[in-house]
Chains A and B, each alone.
Chain A
Amino acid sequence: MEALELYTADVQDDVWTEELKLNLGPQHPSTHGVLRVELKMDGEIITAARSDIGYLHRCAEKIGENVSYLQFTPYTDRMDYLAACNNELAWSLAVEKLLGVEAPERAQWLRVIACELNRIASHLIAFGTYGIDMGANTPFFYAFREREAIMALLERPAGSRMLYNYVRPGGVAHDIDERWLPDVLAFCDEFERRWAEYNQILSTNKIFIARTANVGVLPREMALAWGCTGPVLRGSGVRWDLRRDVPYLWPYGEVEFDVPVGEGTHGTLGDCWDRYWVRMREMIESVRIIRQACARVPSGDFMDKAMARAYKTPVKPPKGEAYMRCENPRGELGFYLVSEGGASPIRCRARGPSFCNLSVLEALLPGCMIADGVAIIGSLDIVLGEVDR
């Protein structure tokens, strides 16, 4: 007994032996782009985290000060490259606010359809890549199959598969062909059938729920204080959607759709599953909007006539400033334009939703395991092009 006592005499249970500094990214399959997170870990648990961004900083704001208003539209595409039409819409509305013009009715409805199709495409990537983050490889292939259908549809009026340059200040760039609206409706029918399948694959999957429920709980006050918007905010129970509350395109006030919020279905309110489920439900709401919009597209101009003429020479808005915010798939994109009468703005500031959503990561990561950390990053659904601009 004496020997045993000597052996166990000075054992302290609270001695901290080693801290591991782990670098996650910028090349990592699960960081959704070139994001680097410096982690301090105690075994498997993250004790501190620091995000390091800027690996995709492409000087968009400086470019905006040097090219004309129409030339900048493709650069807005490349910020959130998964939801290109929505970015272009925010930019176009900001420029139209400065100029005091409004797009014609047909253009507005076409914008709604293009933006909602793009929202479905963006949420599909969120669904597919979140599956891969959790170790489920199959949803990725389904998601990209649907995306091909959407990209083929949008390629017809816009000319490009992904970075469309379609929504422009004054309207849209090209008109649609006669078969486009029926084809969009056919896609909607097919997509609703398949959405139910994807739910079975991932949303109600026991392993997926075990990995995402009660993980990364974001309380309501924290989300508001950190400036989170979009599904990240709605996952925490705040029913706020700019399309319904501040309709920046009047067609959004004319169509009926619900705004899904997280309800703590499988765990605490504001966990990763809630944010993921908000995105899944939003896809169906977008299908509802598209169906109603397709029935209401009038004939007419697709680009404001005065703007079409004005584009022959660089457009010069009067002195002033405009701030315009739009509901993108990732949150609220804001464009702040300051014009002094020249062909380019003197300040072109893009407030990317992913920038603000990502800032909450440093507060969410400590205390969880590294695998949960990957789940949290995936649930925030960031795009680094928008974070870094």
Chain B
Amino acid sequence: MKEAELHARLAASGLTGIGALDTSARDPFVTVEAGALVAALTFLRDDPECRMEMLHNVTAVERADAMEVVYHVCSLARHHTLTVKVRLPRPAGGTHDTWIPEVPSVAGVWAAADWHEREQWDLLGVRFTGHPDLRRILLPAEWIGHPLRKDYVYPGEHGGIPLELDAVPLYERAPGSPPPPARPARAAGTPLEQPPAPFSTRPLAAGGKTCEPGQGGGERGGAH
């Protein structure tokens, strides 16, 4: 069945909160309200014409005005797929530190949702209510922040482990010299600075040969 037929069947199921089918993007998707999500997905799984046995993917997308949670479900018996979205509007002034959108968990419908939802909580800070065990999965348990948010600030270190580049690369430091000082805090979203220049700025010893890319040379003679 095509997405239009699936959507028609879903809309005719008698559930409230089923939105329209949006075909403007490349992949058509159905928007449902958060309250109707579990019922809609259970219908898609159990209905004999839809038979969506597998939840393929759960993604959260942070847009400027909302957080969208996208479910890709597919049927092996009927060879069709459907994309279901839930839009969670951003409150005024909702930032990375203050805004944790909530949506019901579908871990009771497909067990696959368990880990997918934990990952979206970990990386984007979407809370899935009713999830059996919502904790971080990819980042360390004591990590602060949700990195895939657009206003995330990169940390300089975590638990004593430095996560920054050295200001002076290792091959330019005199042996035995102390490690370089810590760098100042950065603004939101800014990454590390460019890695240092690949070739050393040390002056060559007298008589030292340079080797430009494309030039053969060195003891072995010629490129590998």
Partner-B contacts on A (CB < 8 A): 53-54, 57, 59, 61-62, 65-66, 97-98, 222, 224-227, 229, 238, 240, 245-246, 319-323, 325, 332, 334, 336, 338, 346-347, 349, 351, 355-356, 359, 363, 388-389
Contacts and interface: CB of A to CB of B under 8 A. Distances in A.
Given A61-B123, A321-B26, A338-B61, A54 B138 contact: yes
Contacts of B140: 54
B90 interface: no
A325 B53 CA distance: 16
A97 B26 contact: yes
Nearest to A97: B26
B66 interface: no
Contact of A224 (B24, B54, B115, B138): B54
A59 to B, nearest CB: 7
20 contacts: A222-B111, A225-B110, A227-B112, A238-B76, A320-B24, A320-B25, A321-B25, A321-B26, A321-B29, A322-B26, A323-B57, A323-B72, A323-B83, A334-B57, A347-B148, A351-B56, A351-B57, A355-B115, A359-B111, A359-B114
B61 A346 contact: yes
B63 interface: yes
Given A57-B139, A336-B72, A227 B54 contact: yes
B25 A332 contact: no
Given A225-B112, A388-B138, A320 B72 contact: no
Nearest to B85: A321
Nearest to B122: A54
Interface in B72-123: 72, 76, 79, 83, 110-112, 114-116, 119, 123
Contacts of B26: 97-98, 320-322
A356 B112 contact: yes
A238 B53 CA distance: 12
A319 B42 CA distance: 31
Contacts of A359: 111-112, 114-115
Given A62-B147, A356-B116, 11 more contacts: A54-B138, A245-B76, A320-B25, A321-B26, A323-B27, A323-B57, A332-B56, A336-B70, A346-B63, A347-B148, A359-B114
B197 to A, nearest CB: 20
A94 to B, nearest CB: 10
A226 B27 contact: no
B137 interface: yes
B55 interface: yes
Contact of B53 (A62, A97, A224): A224
Contacts of B111: 222, 225-227, 359, 363
B94 to A, nearest CB: 17
Given A238-B76, A323-B27, A347 B59 contact: yes
Contacts of A246: 79
Contacts of B148: 61-62, 65, 347
B191 interface: yes
B28 to A, nearest CB: 10
A56 B156 CA distance: 19
B61 A53 contact: no
Contacts of B56: 227, 325, 332, 334, 351
Nearest to B113: A227
A66 B191 contact: yes
Contact of B137 (A53, A97, A349): A53
B141 to A, nearest CB: 9
B117 to A, nearest CB: 11
Given A238-B76, A351-B56, A355-B115, A227 B27 contact: no
A320 B139 CA distance: 30
B27 A321 contact: yes
Contacts of A224: 53-54, 76
Interface in B165-222: 191
B27 A322 contact: yes
Interface in B108-167: 110-112, 114-116, 119, 123, 136-140, 147-148
Contacts of B27: 321-323
A48 to B, nearest CB: 13
A381 to B, nearest CB: 18
A61 B148 CA distance: 8
Given A53-B138, A54-B140, A57-B139, A349 B110 contact: no
Q: Which 5 A-B residue pairings sit nearest by Cβ, starting from the closest?
A: A227-B112, A54-B138, A351-B57, A320-B26, A57-B138
A347 B83 contact: no
A322 B72 CA distance: 11
Contacts of A225: 53-54, 110-112
A54 B147 CA distance: 14
Given A54-B137, A321-B27, A323-B57, A227 B123 contact: no
